[in-house]
């Protein structure tokens, strides 16, 4: 009898162990990408949640993003009209974007406003507000040229001067410390806001001082790695996912030419604009997103369409007939449209613009996800 009891107990224990193992395997499968694969092993829980949220989104469609969505639009500016928070996208289609792009260019200088005159204080408020409402935040950095004092488009070689041993290294470390302070200040009452940080973008183009021809790929990679290490290790910034985003690829371009390595990148992206040539644009989008998808799948990383748009939306039905078919089955987590600065420099419709109806139709399509769609 004793033996039978023991045997039953053994079977019971074995069964429990078996179930526990099964459960653990199921969990592991559910959380496909273990947190260990992120470039920062100490990321906040909010970052981990964002990562899983992006994965889920990419399985259901793609989140719609807008640069400076709530900072200003055509005919309004948040600075002069603080409540309620406005957005041209909301005015046109009745919902806010799911992704909010901001740019911290000139933060490095200690200025109060970014290169497009957005005050950093209102940027901080709008980032926190968007996050609390369920939005996703991505930040780019059009920083000045540390060697010449010119802007991002000043091609004076500078990367060599700011990596370790360079003559402007101290200045650069000061600049990164300002970025760190800003990132760490993005907090709600209970948590730190997770940010997708996308520095030194479009490096395969030659228009930025960190771009093709103005620095070597090796120096670019070193700059990326050292910047990440300063933020992560020296300043203990743990609310960032790092996104690598080259510009549209020319036929012989290697997407990974400037890639600093799997340990330093969390999200793969690409920037492609329609320069009033839909055919060429569609070809590039389909081709390049497939390349990004293949590399991302192999590396088990998320990928996104990190910048796009057609300035002034001069092609009729651009959203539904040009863009949507090109990205519908791409698997991207989000697509970010550039800013609505002026009537001659905008990428989203605004109230009264001829593409309003096309955008409403675009919003109703199955894969386009706005704020209400991704909230939970």
Q: In this complex, which beta carbon is closest to ligand BMA, that of residue 76 or of residue 273?
A: 273
Determine whether 19 is exposed, middle or buried from the number of CB atoms within 10 Å of its CB (0-12, 13-18, 19+).
Answer: exposed
User: Smallest distance, Å, CB 294 to ligand BMA?
Assistant: 28
Is there binding between residue 142 and ligand BMA (CB under 6 A)?
Answer: yes
User: Smallest distance, Å, CB 342 to ligand BMA?
Assistant: 9
CA dihedral 118, 157, 213, 230 (to 10 degrees): -60
| C-alpha distance from residue 95 to each of 27, 232, 241, 305, 315 (Å) | 34, 35, 26, 21, 23
189 is catalytic: no
Is there binding between residue 103 and ligand BMA (CB under 6 A)?
Answer: yes
Sketch the per residue contact string, 29 through 68, with ligand BMA: x for CB under 6 A, - otherwise: ----------------------------------------
**Region 254-283 residues binding ligand BMA, contact defined as CB under 6 A:** none
| C-alpha distance from residue 228 to each of 105, 300, 369 (Å) | 17, 20, 30
Q: Which of 202, 226, 279, 321 is catalytic?
A: 202
> What is the rounded distance in angstroms from the CA atom of residue 217 to the CA atom of residue 204?
9
Q: In this complex, which beta carbon is closest to ligand BMA, that of residue 227 or of residue 340?
A: 340
Q: Looking at 115, 137, 186, 243, which residue binds ligand BMA (CB under 6 A)?
A: 115
**Contacting residues for 80 by C-beta, under 8 A, at least 6 apart:** none
202 is catalytic: yes
Residue length of the chain? 376
Q: Which of 91, 108, 226, 307 is catalytic?
A: 307
Sketch the per residue contact string, 322 through 361, with ligand BMA: x for CB under 6 A, - otherwise: -----------------x-x--------------------
**134-144 burial by CB neighbour count: b if 16+ within 10 A, else e?**
ebbbbbbbbbb
Is there binding between residue 126 and ligand BMA (CB under 6 A)?
Answer: no
Return the DSSP state at 195: E
Catalytic residues: 202, 307
Residue numbers of the site for ligand BMA (CB under 6 A)? 103, 115-116, 142, 339, 341
């Amino acid at each position: 009898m004793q033996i039978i009891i023991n045997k039953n107990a053994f079977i019971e224990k074995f069964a429990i162990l078996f179930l526990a193992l099964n459960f653990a395997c199921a969990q592991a499968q559910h959380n496909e990408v273990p947190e260990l694969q992120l470039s920062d092993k100490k990321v906040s829980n909010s970052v981990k949640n964002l990562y899983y949220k992006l994965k889920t989104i990419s399985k259901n469609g793609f989140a719609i993003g807008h640069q400076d969505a709530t900072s200003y639009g055509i005919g309004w500016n948040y600075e002069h009209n603080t409540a309620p928070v406005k957005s041209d996208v909301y005015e046109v289609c009745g919902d806010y974007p799911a992704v909010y792009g901001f740019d911290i260019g000139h933060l490095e200088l200690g200025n109060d406003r970014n290169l497009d005159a957005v005050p950093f204080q209102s940027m901080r408020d709008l980032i926190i507000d968007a996050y609390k409402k369920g939005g996703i935040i991505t930040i780019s950095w059009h920083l000045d040229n540390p060697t010449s004092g010119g802007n991002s488009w000043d091609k004076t070689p500078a990367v060599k001067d700011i990596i370790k041993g360079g003559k402007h290294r101290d200045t650069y470390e000061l600049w990164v410390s300002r970025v760190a302070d800003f990132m760490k200040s993005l907090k709600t009452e209970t948590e730190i806001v997770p940010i997708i940080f996308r520095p030194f973008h479009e490096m395969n183009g030659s228009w930025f001082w960190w771009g093709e021809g103005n620095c070597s790929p090796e120096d670019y990679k070193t700059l990326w790695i050292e910047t990440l290490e300063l933020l992560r290790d020296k300043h203990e910034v743990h609310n960032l996912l790092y996104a690598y985003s080259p510009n549209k690829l020319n036929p012989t371009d290697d997407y990974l030419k400037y890639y600093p390595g799997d340990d330093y990148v969390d999200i793969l992206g690409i920037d492609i604009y329609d320069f009033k040539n839909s055919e060429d644009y569609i070809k590039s989008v389909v081709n390049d997103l497939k390349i990004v998808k293949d590399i991302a799948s192999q590396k088990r990383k998320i990928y996104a369409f990190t910048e796009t748009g057609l300035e002034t939306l001069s092609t009729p039905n651009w959203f539904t007939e040009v863009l949507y078919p090109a990205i519908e089955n791409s698997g991207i987590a989000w697509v970010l449209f550039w800013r609505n600065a002026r009537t001659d420099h905008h990428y989203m419709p605004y109230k009264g613009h001829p593409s309003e109806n096309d955008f409403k139709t675009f919003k109703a399509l199955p894969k386009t996800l706005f704020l209400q769609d991704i909230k939970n």
